[in-house]
Chains A and B, each alone.
Chain A
Amino acid sequence: MACTHDHSCEDHDCSSNWSLYKHIDLSKVTALNEANPGSVKSVFKAWEERLNSTGEHLESNEGDPELLVYIPFTSDVKIKSISIVGGADGTSPSKLRVFINREGIDFSDAQSMQPVQEWDLVENLHGVLEYQTRYSKFQSVANITLHFPESFGGDTTQIHYIGFKGEATQLKRDVVATIVYEITPNPSDHKTRAETGGGLSHVE
């Protein structure tokens, strides 16, 4: 597998570094201003597949190159760097702004809020460039929102691959998943120790 780094690939396995895609909760990935609903899921794949353009890719609507991608992870991750493969003929995104752990961001929010970090991108058709993050700010990322405000002059923005390099912790964000709602309390569920017998505590 040709990996156009300045080193030989036998020393480390490039693809395993970019394996954070396995920790993406694909069913909950959404994008705003995408031309084909659901096509955003196709850009998260193994690093080897990043140049594989036979499948779907993410494209914005005609005449509007702005894109917003919301990516939740299945557990908190630490992101070291991000790689983006865009389209040809100026349809690659030129800027990237990211927001961490914020849900429900839409375009007006994205345009007004201060991003955690932003980069000026280059046309990266072979996926060899990676954009490093300020690691200290990306220590426990439960979800990340990528905002691509403009492209390199093209009518639309195309994205073929988004990759994350980093580590996955096994921690999950606090989600109160199992709550039992009681409309009327059932006394049998709330037996105190006094009722079950043994009001006095005994010392062993």
Chain B
Amino acid sequence: MVLEATMICIDNSEWMRNGDYAPSRFQAQADAVNLICGAKTQSNPENTVGVLTMAGKGVRVLVTPTSDLGKILACMHGLEIGGEMNLAAGIQVAQLALKHRQNKKQQQRIIVFAGSPVMHDKKALEVIGKKLKKNSVALDIVNFGEDDEGKTEKLEALLAAVNNNDTSHIVHVPAGPNALSDVLISTPIFTGDGEGGSGFAASAAAAAAGGVSGFEFGVDPNLDPELALALRVSMEEERARQEAAAKKAAEEASEQDATMTEHASEGPSGADNKKNEIPDDDNTLLQQALAMSVDEPASTQDLQDTEMSDAAAEDPDLALALQLSVQESTKDSSSEADMSKLLADQSFVSSILASLPGVDPNDPSVKEMLASMQNQSESQQKQDEDKAPEKKEEKEEKEEK
């Protein structure tokens, strides 16, 4: 929860076109920047983050330190790749931007993404580092991308000059299958000097560590937030229904209800919910076990509903069909009464008839038939399907015609 103003220096030089970090070095860098901004603003709402680019025509400040995440994310769009990175100038401009921060109580920090070769010599970098240390500015270096001779050595020397009591860090990220942001999550750049990490970082790390399977429902919330949201909502609703069933069952279920309904009514919010949902799964399993042992019919129905609703969420048409079937199944098991009720519903029957080819509902003969059907519906206690009486009507109609 350190109050901090951070300037992020992005490398948008030609070397960032390379694809050795998926999808491209520049894109990996942008993702990492977004993640850092989120982590910083979440760990302390008064933290501010600013962004500048080091290559291109020259060092350019895109956003001065602000706590408005939207502004920061917006400025990352439409960045052009080109030119050569000027590390020294970038750091110095970052220092200047931090000097003019609005809240002087914030600690100053610069995060540098060094992806292209470093042109400056070690001495110059050390002088810069000393100046940063003198003004108590911390520096985090992300060494990725190009790895030419001396680059690592220079950056390490820079870090040694800046480092004051381990507030500054350097991270070397080699090219590989892991995304740049995933690697950075576990570093002190995110966890903030070993304070214990923010909830954001911890839960994101848990999700990333599990890979695709680590995400609930097998869907990455970042890739498809709406789908993840829909799945989570349906899961919450299902849980709420199971609670209601379990409530009738045992005393223990009613105790857990309090916690469960809280979670259900919270609704989907952020990654923080992921942490809550892991113990929730244990709770739901326990409830299911209890419910099953005590109240068999209701729970089995609910279990079936669970499976169906999971599938349903993926296909809205299927969901509609399932809803209809669920409505029917919750009625009396004696479907004969249902049939007769359906038949008695004149509008329903006429709509069915209208869909049949060659039948005109306004035909007086059909109307007669409907009227007689209603009278006969009580006596027609058969287990025929809907179509059977209609077929009868058809035959009778044809006979009449």
Cβ distance A201 to chain B, nearest Cβ, rounded Å: 45
Contacts of A197 on B, CB cut-off 8 Å?
A: none
Is the CB of B133 closer than 8 A to any CB of chain A? yes
> Bound complex: CA of A64 vs CA of B135, how far in Å?
12
The closest CB in chain B to the CB of A70 belongs to: B104
**Contact pattern, B 66-91, Cβ under 8 Å of A = 1, otherwise 0:** 00000000000000000000000000
Taking the complex as formed, is B263 at the interface, i.e. its CB lies under 8 A from any CB of chain A? no
- Taking CB atoms, residues of chain A closer than 8 Å to B164 are 37
SS class, residues of chain A in contact with chain B: loop
Instruction: Indicate if the CB atoms of B165 and A107 lie closer than 8 Å.
Output: no
Tell whether, in the assembled complex, residue B104 and residue A61 are in contact, meaning their CB atoms are under 8 Å apart.
no
**Any B CB within 8 A of the CB of A123:** no
Q: Which residues of A contact B99 (CB under 8 A)?
A: 106, 108
Residues facing B in A103-148 (CB within 8 A) are 103-104, 106-108
A107 adjacent to B130 (CB under 8 Å): no
What is the minimal beta-carbon distance from B393 to any residue of chain A, in angstroms?
63
Q: Which of A32, A106, A108: most chain B Cβ within 10 A?
A: A106
Residue of B nearest to A104 (CB): B104
A66 to B131, CA, bound (A): 12
B398 within 8 A of A: no
**Cα distance, A115 to B308, chains bound together (Å):** 77
Q: Are B134 and A61 in contact (CB under 8 A)?
A: yes
B66 CB → nearest A CB, Å = 18
| A19 contacts partner chain B, Cβ-Cβ < 8 Å | no
Render B145-171 as a binary contact track against A, CB cut-off 8 A, 1 for contact: 000000000000000000011000000
CB distance from B3 to the nearest CB of A (A): 13
Could you tell me if B165 and A61 are in contact, using CB atoms closer than 8 angstroms?
A: no
Cβ of A107 and Cβ of B104 under 8 Å apart?
no
Q: Report the bound CA distance from A66 to B99 in whole Å.
A: 19
Q: Flag if A107 contacts B133 (CB, 8 Å).
A: no
Q: A103-B104, A106-B99 are in contact. Are A64 and B134 (CB under 8 A)?
A: yes
Let me know if A66 and B134 touch, CB within 8 A.
Answer: yes
Query: Is the C-beta of A74 less than 8 angstroms from some C-beta in chain B?
Result: no
Interface residues in A12-33 by Cβ distance below 8 A to B read: 32-33
Give complex CA distance A103, B99 in Å: 12
Q: What is the interface residue range for chain A against chain B?
A: 10 to 19
CA distance in complex: A185, B64 (Å): 31
What's the minimum C-beta distance from A92 to chain B, rounded to whole angstroms?
Answer: 20
Give Cα A103–Cα B106 distance, bound, in whole angstroms.
12
In the complex, the answer to whether B130 meets A64 with C-beta atoms within 8 Å is yes
> In this complex, what residue of A is CB-closest to B98?
A106
Number of interface residues of B (CB under 8 A): 9
In the complex, which residue of chain B has the Cβ closest to the Cβ of A60?
Answer: B134
Residues of chain B with a CB closer than 8 A to A104's CB: 104
- Nearest to A62 among chain B residues (CB) is B130
Give chain A nearest CB distance to B84 CB in angstroms: 28
Bitwise, B109-149 to A at CB < 8 A (1) or not (0) is 00000000000000000000010011110000000000000
Check B135–A32 contact: CB distance below 8 A.
Answer: yes
Residues of A within 8 A of B104 (CB): 103-104
Q: How far is the CA of A107 from the CA of B135 in the complex (A)?
A: 7
A106 contacts across to B, CB distance below 8 A: 99, 135
How close is A39's CB to chain B, nearest CB, in angstroms?
11
In Å, the complex CA distance between A32 and B135 comes to 6
Residue of B nearest to A103 (CB): B104
A15 to chain B, nearest CB (A): 33
Docked Cα-Cα span, A57 to B134, in Å, equals 18
Q: What does the 1/0 interface line of A182-193 toward B look like (CB < 8 Å)? A: 000000000000
The proximity string for B residues 164-207 relative to A, scoring 1 for CB distances below 8 Å and 0 otherwise, is 11000000000000000000000000000000000000000000
- Chain B residues whose CB sits within 8 angstroms of the CB of A103 once the complex forms: 104
Q: Which of A32, A64, A66, A108 contacts B136 (CB 8 A)?
A: A32
Closest to B130 in A: A64
Contact string against B for A residues 24-58, beta-carbon threshold 8 Å, 1 for contact and 0 otherwise: 00000000110001000000000000000000000
> How many angstroms from the CA of A144 to the CA of B130 in the assembled complex?
25
Please give me the residue from chain B that is nearest to A36 by CB atom.
B165
B167 to A, closest residue via Cβ: A37
Complex: A104 Cα to B101 Cα, angstroms? 10
Determine whether the beta carbon of B133 is less than 8 Å from that of A37.
Answer: no
Q: What are 20 contact pairs spanning A and B, CB under 8 A?
A: A32-B134, A32-B135, A32-B136, A33-B133, A33-B134, A37-B164, A37-B165, A61-B130, A61-B133, A61-B134, A64-B130, A64-B134, A66-B134, A103-B104, A104-B104, A106-B99, A106-B135, A107-B134, A107-B135, A108-B99
* A32-B136, A61-B133, A103-B104 known, 16 other contacts, Cβ within 8 Å: A32-B134, A32-B135, A33-B133, A33-B134, A37-B164, A37-B165, A61-B130, A61-B134, A64-B130, A64-B134, A66-B134, A106-B99, A106-B135, A107-B134, A107-B135, A108-B99
Which A residues lie at the B interface, using CB under 8 A?
Answer: 32-33, 37, 61, 64, 66, 103-104, 106-108
- Top 4 closest pairs, chain A to chain B, by CB: A104-B104, A33-B134, A106-B135, A103-B104
